[in-house]
A = this chain, B = another copy of it.
Amino acid sequence: MSQEKIRNMDEFAALCGISRPTISKYFNDPNSVRPSTRDRIEAALKEYDYRPNIYAMNQNRRLTKNIGIVVPYLADPFFAEIARVIERRCIDAGFTPTLFSSHGEPGQETAILDTLRSLRPAGVLLAPLGRASDRKHIEEFCRDVPTILFDSNIEGVGAAFVGSDNFSFVSQTVEYLSRTGSAPCFFEMRDPANPNANKRRHAYLEMMRRLNLEPHLIKIDGTGWGFEEIGRTGALKVLKQDLLPTDTVLCSNDRLAIGVLSACHELGIRVGREEGCTIRIASHDDHPYSRFTCPSLTTAAHDYEAVSDHAVETLFRLIEAGGRLETREETLFAARLIMRASA
């Protein structure tokens, strides 16, 4: 590696003995230049370690290679994991993804979208906060920037939605639980921030109706994204007052369930389907930690890979199509029941 620092493409082109426009062409698509030319450029690249200035590149390109990824809450390992997979897919496809977290705050979400505008991304993968989102602001953003929604849908907004089929989650857990023991009650937040929660409640009610069982909704108080703590305090209250209508609790999501497990432990209530256990707990999402809870959590798993892959692929199609799809697509992936010790 030579010591000399190359300042710009002109200097690099001169060192290659190739014209600058050809170098420019190479960087936009190495396969667009003749193999012999490509070899000469790549040899020089090893020698001098030059990289074109991103800002100058993106300024003039009609379309950047940027992709924005927005998740509602990165401190939730579920979103951290799905963001990781999506990031990798984008990099492999030659894009430069940038990851943002709304940190559970609608203000942050709109601020991120504003920032994203000036990044001039080719496309955006957005998992909205949900109910708290500023719908109008997101709608406006989607009009200007090709955007795929994932995880949490906003009807009619964005070019497509990719997520999980909430009915598939709940139908499997309800069916399993009521087949192997008493029918579950449904444990959830009173005002869930995420629209998936509402869909899961409806799915629960529908499933109980089909099975001819009496539904029980347990709605607990709490706001924000500290679901474990909300689940814990809510469960403590319910359990202490002995308000549980059945010995089987189906939580809306794993993070709530982690809180419920914690409350049960505090109160000395044994959870599981073994002998000596007085309560069964199950849930949805297959959160990365749910296999390490005590007891390990029976849950319905997202098809992470399928959701990530399909969201990214749809975005690429959208970008290639110039930012518009004929119709707004909605794709839902089925869940997989994961039987562990808690139910």
Contacts and interface: CB of A to CB of B under 8 A. Distances in A.
Interface of A: 51-56, 58-59, 74-77, 80-81, 83-84, 87-88, 96, 98-101, 103, 114-115, 117-120, 228-229, 232, 258-259, 261-262, 264-266, 288-289, 291-296, 341
A58 to B, nearest CB: 5
A19 B88 CA distance: 45
Contacts of A115: 96
A87 to B, nearest CB: 8
Given A258-B289, A292-B228, A292-B262, A84 B98 contact: no
> How many protomers of this protein does the assembly include?
2
A292 B258 contact: yes
B54 A119 contact: yes
Nearest to A98: B98
A186 to B, nearest CB: 21
Contacts of A58: 55
A101 B75 contact: no
Given A59-B56, A59-B59, A81-B75, A118 B51 contact: yes
B232 A120 contact: no
Contacts of A295: 265
Nearest to A99: B99
Contacts of A51: 114, 117-118
B262 A296 contact: yes
A176 to B, nearest CB: 21
Contact of A74 (B84, B100, B117, B341): B84
Given A53-B118, A75-B77, A265-B295, 5 more contacts: A54-B118, A55-B58, A84-B101, A262-B296, A293-B293
Nearest to A114: B51
A228 B80 CA distance: 16
Given A55-B58, A59-B59, A289-B228, A80 B74 contact: yes
